[in-house]
Amino acid sequence: MGLTATLPIVHYSHRIDTQDTVPEIEEPAGVTALQDGWLVVSDWRTRSLHLVTPDGCWDRQLWRHPRGSGSKDCLCGVSVSGGVCVAVTDYGEAHVFDIS
């Protein structure tokens, strides 16, 4: 006996292939959607966060890890809530900053 939940029906909208449309992002690792359809995408190889438009075009780099690319830890996830962004590395670091 466990808890049951009714999940909302989700309708597929469209595909954004960041490998083709966003060459600034080398290896996408995590993504979070903002309310207006924009995306924040983490790049594990360059250890940076990027803002992507609703139609899949790169807008700008939001943040780059202080140690830059080439070190051993990589970005593996990103979350945004209320203008606060949290980027997480595979070494257990969490970097918190304001993107509003």
Encode pLDDT of 46-76 as tens digits: 888 888 888 888 898 888 877 665 556 677 7
Mean pLDDT of the chain: 75
Structure-token pair, residue 39 = 């995306």
Give the model's pLDDT for residue 57: 85
Give the model's pLDDT for residue 21: 64
* Mean pLDDT value of segment 23-44: 81
CATH of the domain at 32: 2.40.10
9 within a domain of the structure (yes/no)? no
75 within a domain of the structure (yes/no)? yes
* Mean pLDDT value of segment 35-56: 83
Question: Does the predicted model carry a pTM greater than 0.85?
Answer: no
d(CA 87, CA 67) in angstroms, rounded, equals 14
- Is 68 in contact with 47 (CB distance < 8 Å)? yes
d(CA 59, CA 51) in angstroms, rounded, equals 5
51 within a domain of the structure (yes/no)? yes
Q: What percent of the chain has pLDDT over 70?
A: 71
d(CA 80, CA 62) in angstroms, rounded, equals 12
CB atoms within 10 A of CB 43: 25
27 within a domain of the structure (yes/no)? yes
| Residue 52 CB-half CA count within 13 A | 27
8 within a domain of the structure (yes/no)? no
